[in-house]
Amino acid sequence: MLPVNSTTSFSSTFLVTGIPGLEAVHIWISIPFCAIFLITLVGNVTIMTVIWREQTLHVPMYLFLAMLAASDLGLSLFTFPTMLKIFWLDAREVTFPACFTQMFFIHTFQDFESAVILAMAFDRYVAISHPLHYSSILTNSVIARIGFTIVSRTFAVQVPLPILLRRLCFCRSNVLSHSYCLHPDILRLSCSNTRINSIFGLFVVLSTMGLDFLLIILSYVLILKTVLSIASHGGRLKALNTCISHISAVVVFFTPMICLSMLHRFGPRLPSHVYVTLANMHFFIPPVMNPIVYVVKTRQIQDKILKLFIKKREESQITFIT
């Protein structure tokens, strides 16, 4: 005999969650989130536009930066709107297809960004360790192949995830832990055998972000070895200074994710809003910080942005006069 509530245990939708315990002040919390979202949009679109329009910036370092801005923009567009809908409208229902689609794109852009950060680490290694051969090693064709490899790897590991999820049954609670759909969170609600999904999900994480992080560390070990071999103190500082922006990107992208993983597995049981906050930091902080850091630390980007806005202003004045 079926339980009395069995008819209500099956659902065609998931319920996403805001910030637990702070539901009463969601409207106020939405204000800084809106500001972050706007800065993210303006910052990343500006960087992509400047690099696209300026031929002098069509070099490996800035092409990788444009890829990073594109991944940040995509990640923001698939996370922020869902959270703002919760804050403003308390709209929490998400259908299965919409949830699986959001999950796919969130993890796709997440893996894409991880791979781009690794490519940028390789760029910095070549620039510091082989400066005389930099342009001959990182040619346009090599950059194109790196970009194609990043896209191919990302789609190869991410496409099976929603396909495997479609075979599962969801007959437990339909309340997700976050404001967006994530693969581990969805698996937790399934009443089917999720062994294959869990194993494949772990393989995806280890073979993408896990491997990328190890290779980034290896790159910086080699970079540090090269820097220490430079005779002059000023030369060492100049070489390290070219890595500051990239190191910031590595820190803001990987630190919240590693902290969240460690807390889930080895840390004390903390209030749910702590885990939600760390997850939000992982998805929201890099897209807003990366353009700020690169604009502040990169004089060429500053100059080209000023040139772009001055040109736009002059064009608008001419249009107004005519």
CA distances from 165 to 103, 191, 310, 314 (A): 11, 12, 50, 54
CA dihedral 68→71→77→82, nearest 10 degrees, is -110
Query: Distance between terminal CA atoms of the chain?
Result: 81
Of 214, 299, 215, 294, which is closest to residue 249 (Cα–Cα)?
Answer: 294
Rounded mean pLDDT, 240-252 = 90
Q: Is the dihedral of CA 42, 306, 235, 223 positive or negative?
A: positive
Gap between the Cα atoms of 318 and 218, Å rounded:
53
Q: What angle do CA 196, 259, 18 make, to 5 degrees?
A: 80
Instruction: Give the pLDDT confidence of 99-147 residue by residue, as tens digits.
Output: 999 999 999 999 999 999 999 999 999 999 998 899 999 999 999 999 9
Instruction: Give the pLDDT confidence of 166-225 residue by residue, as tens digits.
Output: 988 887 678 888 889 999 889 888 888 889 999 999 899 999 999 999 999 999 999 999
Rounded mean pLDDT, 70-84 = 93
Radius of gyration in angstroms for the set of CA atoms belonging to the chain, rounded to a whole number = 22
**Buried/exposed code over 282-294 (b: 16+ C-beta within 10 A; e: otherwise):** bbbbbbbbbbebb
pLDDT of residue 3: 40
Judge whether residue 4 has pLDDT over 60: no
For 35-39, 66-70, 173-177, 246-250, which range has the lowest pLDDT when averaged over its residues? 173-177
Gap between the Cα atoms of 66 and 51, Å rounded:
7
Q: Percent of the chain at pLDDT above 90? A: 51
Judge whether residue 5 has pLDDT over 60: no
Of 150, 64, 80, 78, which is closest to residue 107 (Cα–Cα)?
Answer: 78
Rounded mean pLDDT, 80-98 = 90
CB atoms within 10 A of CB 180: 23
Residue 31's pLDDT band, with cuts at 50, 70 and 90, is very high
Residue 322's pLDDT band, with cuts at 50, 70 and 90, is low
Mean pLDDT over each residue of the chain, to the nearest integer: 86
Say if pTM beats, i.e. exceeds, 0.75: yes
Judge whether residue 229 has pLDDT over 50: yes
For 4-13, 153-162, 237-246, 268-277, which range has the lowest pLDDT when averaged over its residues? 4-13
Judge whether residue 320 has pLDDT over 60: no
CATH for 9-321?
Answer: 1.20.1070.10
Rounded mean pLDDT, 257-273 = 69
Residue 232's pLDDT band, with cuts at 50, 70 and 90, is confident
pLDDT of residue 219: 95
pLDDT of residue 266: 58
For 27-31, 65-69, 162-166, 274-278, which range has the lowest pLDDT when averaged over its residues? 274-278
pLDDT of residue 196: 93
Mark out the alpha helices in the chain (DSSP H runs): 6-9, 26-53, 60-77, 80-89, 96-129, 134-137, 140-158, 160-165, 183-188, 195-205, 211-228, 233-241, 244-265, 272-297, 299-321
Whether the Cβ atoms of residue 87 and residue 27 lie closer than 8 Å to each other:
yes
Of 223, 204, 201, which is closest to residue 212 (Cα–Cα)?
Answer: 204
Judge whether residue 1 has pLDDT over 50: no
Gap between the Cα atoms of 293 and 117, Å rounded:
14
Q: Percent of the chain at pLDDT above 70? A: 89
Name the token pair of 304. Answer: 């080209």
